A and B are shown apart, each in its own frame.
Chain A
Amino acid sequence: MKLKQTHSTAGFSLSEMMVVMGITSMIMASAIGASVALQKSFSATDKFFGNHMQQIRIIDYLSRDVKRSTIVNTSNDKRTVTCTVPNYVIQEGDSEVPASVAAKGVRRVPVVTITTGGPQIDYGRRVGDAVLNANSSIVTSATAKFTVNDVGSEIWGAGIPSGCKITARNNANSVTISLPARLTRNPETITWARVSTVVYALNNKTIERRENGTVTTIAASTDQLVPETVDVEQANTEYAASTVTFLPVFKFNGGTQSQSVEDERRRGTMVFAKAYLRNKRRG
């Protein structure tokens, strides 16, 4: 018996193969090209939204700190923002702690000062046994227990000029203030407020937040994230208007862009926020 050969021996001709390979190459080239383009597009989109998230984070950080500030200052180049924030929680080294170690971590009780603009609230300390001498910058108190953390605190009392700060701690019972006392008073009630200084600044490609010197990087990007803040002080209110922009990595026309085109692209990424100082104090 002769078996029938059903296995086909027919093949493709060279020309058929070349056509097929040509078509296949084109399809593969298209697919790879599309894949690369998609990858670039995805990468660019991912970076874009990554930067956008960082914009939101910068704005959220700034808004949170500005809202709870008593004073906000911005630099002339709009890149550095300095917030003075009430120091709400007693920390190690604060002048309350020597009197009571258990005070650490406790939220401070607000201190009321009656001013010409009405009651003023601060988170600090008050003693009633201070001694002032007219034209002297030395303030003494037997109960104050001053610490180095008090340096920089705003201090006030009936005989102390407005805007005065503690510039140096001489010992636990004595400090030096920035302006000489106006009057001789003994005893005098003095109040000094503990504050934190929060500084936002651009450092190369990162945006840093420094609270009393401790640095936290809150955003970092190779795409030139630029925050700008303007502090606007009006008669009865004050606000900080902030914008954050970046330069997206999308390439247009394959070449280097002119500055005006880059500026235009940057403007298209702008996130804007305005935060009011809740603790704005009248003059």
Chain B
Amino acid sequence: MRASATTQETGSTLLCTLGVVVILSAVGANVLMNCVTRYNATAKQVKGWKEALYAAEAGGDIGYAEARRAVPDASNAFLASRGWAQDASATNPTWTKTIPPFGSDNSLATTVSVDRFTVVNGNPYYRIRAIGTAAVNGLRRSGIDDRMNATTRGDSLLRKIDFSFDHFRATYGHGDTLATDPGTVANGKALTAVPRAQVKRRIELVAVPVMSFEGAIKCLSAFAGPGSAGVIDSYNSINGSYALANASGLAAQNPNSPYYADSRNGNVAVNTPSFNQGNVIYGDVSTNGGNLNHTNSQITGTIDNNVPFYIPPWTQPVLPAGVTYESTSPPDTITPPVRYESDGVTQKTEFWYLYTGNFKQITINPVYVGSNPVETQYNIIVNGDVGEITVQKGANVRIHFKGNFSAQLKDLDNKNVDGYGAATSVKMVNPNRDNDPSTNDSYVDSDRTSSAGHLMLYGISPTNGATQTIELHPPGDMRAVIYAPSANVTLTGNPDILGAVVCKSFSGNGNTGFHFDNALTGVGIPIDYRVASYVEDIR
């Protein structure tokens, strides 16, 4: 019998193999860990962080687009039929909308909340808050790139990722509480689990009305002026009259004048290259394709030859609900009917008139309290032409006319004066009055400083594309504003104009002085909305 030797000589091979596998695995794991961290950061976390902002801005755009519907009628905005829900518990009128998930694999979502946080000069201002949410794909907390040194964190300070819980809700609730405050139902602070890792970013925009008058002269097609002996400058009726500001010579030429800063806003904008200048413009000028520069012009402010703009045609205003026209034929003198607000002692001060014919040789009176005129708003629709008008102190007249306008400026008699009511003795209905008739708080001094702002001529754009004409003849001066996107405005002779003009074309020759009142930027009628502020809540 032969016995076979069975010497084991392969054991160390297995150990060696295992050792090698362990070493390679460790190396591989190290490589993989680094790769996964980088991959997660670049492909998922950075992507999610950026996409969350895109989602938030999409929500902001949706809120802004809806705010624009508030022109011309605020009741057209934020309708339930378009998915807006009014929050009855909020202090300000507030509407919210949740946008269905969108993006790749529906990984993005946004909610938007809009509140009317204030009303200035009768115009609503909207605050738009949007929250954008983007999913961070992959396993929760599969690596965040915080490696800089022993004491400094990297990405987690910037890209705050909610891996399991909504960190913002847990720390700041709805956004108006401190991290150290206890959570309550009211402040919304609570530990809220998230269905998957996500990034949320919060932005706040403010949409403000674009007013009809934001510069001295704005023309769609052509500008020619001022005359060789004229000037375009500005003043601010908050400080009193133009004459007061320039009592010691032209303030725009005197840097030491306290009125100097208000004197160089006689801005002119034209939406074509057609710009012909006769004398100095103390303000900024923009054209659309012109070749102006400081060498070939007499412009003190900035010049920009690449500013296109759009002015929408002006349409007849809609009569507010529950309001009727006071009259449809023009008497020689308009005296407001005596009516009272719900407190029974404060007079109503807004009236609507519709005139089917021409509107000429008319005197318009305000409401009076004792001997003091009270700011009284007239909205007058005229189907015909407009001519000679006398506006008594305290009357605010907006004339929307379909025909043409032609008058000697001495017959366009605006008796309002520049300055606050404390100086001019004009009162206004107290916007903060209570409804108690015994408190005697119905009226306060007027804060409407601009005399030109008391007479506004709005040219309703002809639907057939025709051009209106507005002819301003000497003698006399004018304190009024004109908003007529379809009108050619012609100014002859040597009148002084206090106010602003928006028109199709403007031509002013001779010794015309055109003085823009800076206070007009706050009055007029909103023609659109713009986003004036952007902040991100980076907490």
Contact = CB atoms under 8 A, between A and B. Distances in A.
B155 interface: yes
Contacts of B530: 118
Contacts of A115: 521
Interface in B473-531: 518-519, 521-522, 530-531
Contacts of A26: none
B3 A3 contact: yes
Contact of B208 (A50, A121, A220, A283): A121
Contacts of A278: 531, 533-534
A120 interface: yes
A49 B38 contact: yes
A60 B158 contact: yes
Nearest to B304: A235
B138 interface: no
B365 interface: no
Nearest to B53: A64
B72 interface: no
A1 B1 contact: yes
Contact of B532 (A4, A54, A107, A121): A121
Interface stretch (B63-71, B145-153, B398-406): B145-153
Interface in B1-56: 1-5, 7, 31, 34, 38, 41-42, 46, 49-50
B204 interface: yes
Given A7-B5, A220-B148, A57 B34 contact: no
A57 B154 contact: yes
A162 B263 CA distance: 13
Interface string A105-134: 111011010111111111100000000001
Contacts of A218: 154, 157-158
A104 interface: yes
A122 B532 CA distance: 9
B486 to A, nearest CB: 23
A121 B261 CA distance: 21
A283 B539 contact: no
A3 B176 contact: no
Given A105-B181, A110-B206, A218-B157, A88 B535 contact: yes
A223 interface: no
A122 B533 CA distance: 8
B4 A6 contact: yes
Contacts of B4: 6
Contact of B125 (A112, A117, A235): A112
A53 B39 CA distance: 10
A217 interface: yes
B119 to A, nearest CB: 10
Contacts of B41: 53
B302 interface: yes
Given A119-B208, A279-B534, A53 B38 contact: yes
A216 interface: yes
Contacts of A61: 158
B187 to A, nearest CB: 9
Contact of A57 (B38, B158, B537): B158
B236 A158 contact: yes
Contact of A158 (B42, B127, B238, B533): B238
B51 to A, nearest CB: 13
A249 interface: no
A86 interface: yes
A88 B204 contact: yes
**What's the dominant secondary structure at chain B's contact region?**
mixed
B88 interface: no
Nearest to A162: B261
Interface in A1-24: 1, 3-4, 6-7
B177 interface: yes
A119 B209 contact: yes
Contact of B533 (A105, A121, A236): A121
Contacts of A114: 120, 519, 521-522
A183 B304 contact: no
Interface in B108-148: 117-118, 120, 125, 127, 145, 147-148
A250 interface: no
Most buried by A among B154, B286, B539: B154
A54 B154 contact: yes
B307 A236 contact: yes
Most buried by B among A106, A115, A119, A216: A119
A89 interface: yes
A120 B152 contact: no
A105 B178 contact: yes
A118 B522 CA distance: 7
Most buried by A among B5, B148, B155, B538: B148
A134 B302 contact: no
Contacts of B175: 107
Contacts of B204: 88, 107
Contacts of B519: 114
A56 interface: yes
A265 interface: no
A67 B201 CA distance: 14
Nearest to A70: B533
Contacts of B147: 50
Contact of A235 (B34, B42, B302, B534): B302
A216 B157 contact: yes
B258 A183 contact: yes
A88 B537 contact: yes
B214 interface: yes
A68 B535 contact: yes
Interface string B225-250: 00000000010101100000000000
A116 B536 CA distance: 26
Contact of A53 (B31, B125, B145): B145
A42 B154 contact: no
Interface of B: 1-5, 7, 31, 34, 38, 41-42, 46, 49-50, 117-118, 120, 125, 127, 145, 147-149, 152, 154-155, 157-159, 172, 175-179, 181, 204, 206, 208-211, 214, 234, 236, 238-239, 258-259, 261, 265, 267, 284, 286, 301-302, 304, 306-307, 518-519, 521-522, 530-539
Which 4 pairs from chain A and chain B are nearest by CB?
Answer: A278-B534, A105-B178, A121-B533, A114-B522
Given A114-B521, A121-B208, 7 more contacts: A60-B49, A88-B204, A105-B176, A112-B118, A116-B234, A118-B210, A118-B521
19 contacts: A7-B7, A50-B147, A53-B42, A56-B42, A57-B155, A61-B158, A86-B535, A88-B535, A109-B117, A119-B120, A119-B209, A121-B206, A123-B535, A182-B259, A217-B148, A217-B149, A218-B154, A278-B534, A283-B302
